[in-house]
Structure 1
């Protein structure tokens, strides 16, 4: 592996040109930081992290939607890393500390089991995640969970976010490393138009250091040959067409809506909501949830610019000081997939 790494770095140096590559995957950022990949690359080859953490991009509004259920005799179930994501004034962890019935589950199946065992309880599951976890939610709904179970859909779609970032020109990105986990579900086809329309070279990558280095090399080779397209470096898991069964389940259950992300304005066709025929499982409909006038970020937090690839965690005045994994102020410090959380673990301490 060491010799292969040296060979790849040598090839990258041979054809290196100024390029700003964005990835959108917490696992990729973890591999990059843990293995010091940025330090191996020539200065003109820059890798920046985009909105690759599914928990981090859930906006304050949706946390507030969940919090609106606290005083309505509802049991809220969620993943552990969602607990401390900030709403406009508090988090689910804050509500739990004050006696709210908020429970951590490992997956939607655990939430369904809780509802089945306690038919007198109204159980709501916060269904967060990208295309990777949406099929599990869809499958659960298709299997007709109990009447006392519902979901608050916070699922989001990666391609529309990338389209926004590219077309806005804000981040000056000119290449993409596509997320391996997402691509196992949707394949590589949804990313083709970034190359054909915008001339963006791309590579889908796995999660070890060699995967990342190979993706960088493939992108540089496309630039050298003036041939932008999607190279599938992660062929051992990703097919061009993706997982057709998972896509079919998602299409059956969800409709695509426009909504804001944390750090992003309202983006067209970027979130998944339950179709009308499944309204009996939609917590927004059941509880008539409506939240207005939401404050997006805690004072001093630059999570938004970090999620858009405009800033690095070390650019934030709060990073590693008042904001740390034990006391996260911004959403990017909460989850282990968050760019700030990862940077805190691997940035040398003074």
Structure 2
């Protein structure tokens, strides 16, 4: 890719939409899940649904790491930060995620010291500057951000810092997808695989999806034409009776993943027996914690945590939105009691949350789906060099 505009050409988008329509069987509907929240934002922002035939629909999945953090873990973080000798650091999109009583911002107003950082390495800098304080980094994210946490731990070990630790909340994408596949609530024909996570783990971990569940998956990039081409690849597989993992995002994603990043993760972290996901409940081997060798950097071992499971507010339907069962506007409090300024659920907080995506970009999509006449959402504007496709075919039905 030389220029972003190559992946936003309106004529190419219309041509891809026409090719997708040609592959539709009469009377059949197709439902694909975009696992990643970044894909959801591209879909709404650029009006991808307006380029698809009515038979093809896209539903969002649990690929927003902030959105799947349960309220109890937020409460645990605030409990740690409430100690007078602690400085907690966090990525910005965690600052307004509601716990059972308040958010990080609210907690700061009550006297805690929770600071926003752009990288976990910023936390080490704060620890060096404040030797009389214990700095705790609130680590969140899928395998995308886990390598940066791992490298920070290795740096802290190398420097011998004794006033730094990590509150680890890293989750893994494959068990989340499996939980969706095992759920009886949703019928899916295929998946748009997450691009960011796949730059680390590669494409091989998804091969169980076509092999065991008979569903195709295409790892997709984040530009409008990336997503349209990925939908076309899924439709082509179904039309040809194939079922495979394909890599549309091969300009960025290596099939085998990033061995250096994976080695850093495996050196510092291990899988938990189980972990709670908001909306999906407890999923086995779906999150990471620090290895015993790094116990002195593990906030869960250093501090006594309440560890209380907190139920979501009754009015919030983030769980159903994360599973793709509900569209954001079908939630009872969407756009009224729950807005980006006053979020009730995590899907309205995170930049990758489905509710925030629809609230900011998808206002007209609802009317289109209802069959009403409405102005089109923003459409892609400017030549695309088709992405190279890598395929691994496995057994399974199309």
Task: Answer 1 or 2: higher relative contact order, Cα 8 Å, separation at least 6.
Answer: 2
2:45–2:362 contact (8 Å) kept in structure 1: no
- Residue 52 of structure 1 deviates from its aligned partner by 1.7
**1:73-98 CA distance string (max 9 Å, x none):** 21111111101111122222211111
Q: In 2, distance between residues paired with 1:128 and 1:341?
A: 19
Greater CA drift, 83-92 or 217-226: 83-92
| Alpha-carbon separation, structure 2, partners of 1:348 and 1:161 | 28
Runs of at least 5 residues in structure 1 that lack an aligned partner in the other structure: none
Quote the residue 2:333 is aligned against: 318
Q: C-alpha deviations, 1:1-48, integer Å up to 9, x for none?
A: 222212211110000242211112121111100111112211221110
The DSSP-based 3-state class of the residue aligned with 1:51 is strand
- TM-score (normalizing by structure 1): 0.97
Q: SS in structure 2 opposite 1:270? A: coil
Give yes or no for the alignment of 1:329 onto 2:340: no
1:291 offset after TM fit, Å? 1.6
Aligned equivalents of 1:47, 1:348: Cα separation in 2: 16
* Partner in structure 2 of residue 53 of structure 1: 64
Of 268, 289, 292, which residue of structure 1 is paired with 2:284?
Answer: 268
Per-residue deviation at 1:119? Answer: 0.7
Deviation by residue 1:191-230 (Cα, 9 ceiling, x = unmatched): 0110111111110110111000000000011111111101
How many Å apart are 1:231 and its aligned residue?
1.2
Q: How does 1:58-207 map to 2 (within 5 A)?
A: 58-73=69-84, 74-143=86-155, 144=157, 146-207=161-222
SS at match of 2:140: strand
C-alpha contact 2:37 2:61 (8 A) present in aligned 1: no
Does 2:25 align with 1:25?
Answer: no
Q: Deviations over 1:290-345 (max 9, x none)?
A: 322x3231231101110111111100121111111111111111111111111101
Q: Equivalent of 1:290, from 302, 306, 324?
A: 306
The 8 Å contact of residues 90 and 137 in structure 2, kept in 1 or not, is answered as yes
Q: Does residue 302 of the first structure (1) align with residue 317 of the second (2)? A: yes
Give me the whole-angstrom Cα distance separating, in 2, the residues matched to 1:158 and 1:216: 20
Q: In the aligned structure 1, how far is the partner of 2:47 from the partner of 2:362?
A: 10
Q: Tell me the alpha carbon deviations over residues 135-192 of structure 1, each in whole angstroms, 9 at most, x when there is no partner.
A: 0111111221511000100101111100111022322222000011111100000001
Matched residues, number: 349
Which residue in 1 is equivalent to 2:384?
A: none
Give the Å deviation of 1:70. 3.1
User: Structure 2 CA distance, aligned partners of 1:235 and 1:81?
Assistant: 29
Q: Using the alignment, how far apart are the partners of 2:83 and 2:284 within structure 1?
A: 32
2:344 partner SS: coil
Segments of 4+ in structure 1 off by > 3 A? Answer: none
Matches within 5 A, 1:218-233: 218-233=233-248
Query: Counterparts of 1:248 and 1:295 in 2: how far apart (Å)?
Result: 34
TM-score by length of 2: 0.85
Q: Distance in 2 between matches of 1:142 and 1:79?
A: 20
3-state SS of 2:304 partner: coil
Inter-partner Cα distance in structure 1 for 2:217 and 2:291: 33
Q: Is the 8 A contact 1:262 1:296 kept in 2?
A: no
SS in 2 for 1:13: helix
What CA distance in whole angstroms lies between the structure 2 residues aligned with 1:288 and 1:317? 37
Structure 2 match to 1:8: 16
Distance in 1, Cα, partners of 2:87 & 2:24: 54
Q: Hey, what's the Cα distance between the residues in 2 that align with 1:35 and 1:105?
A: 29
Q: Distance in 2 between matches of 1:79 and 1:252?
A: 23
Aligned to 1:278: 294
**Contact kept in structure 2, 1:203 and 1:219, CA below 8 Å:** yes
Unaligned runs of 5+ in 2: 1-8, 368-398
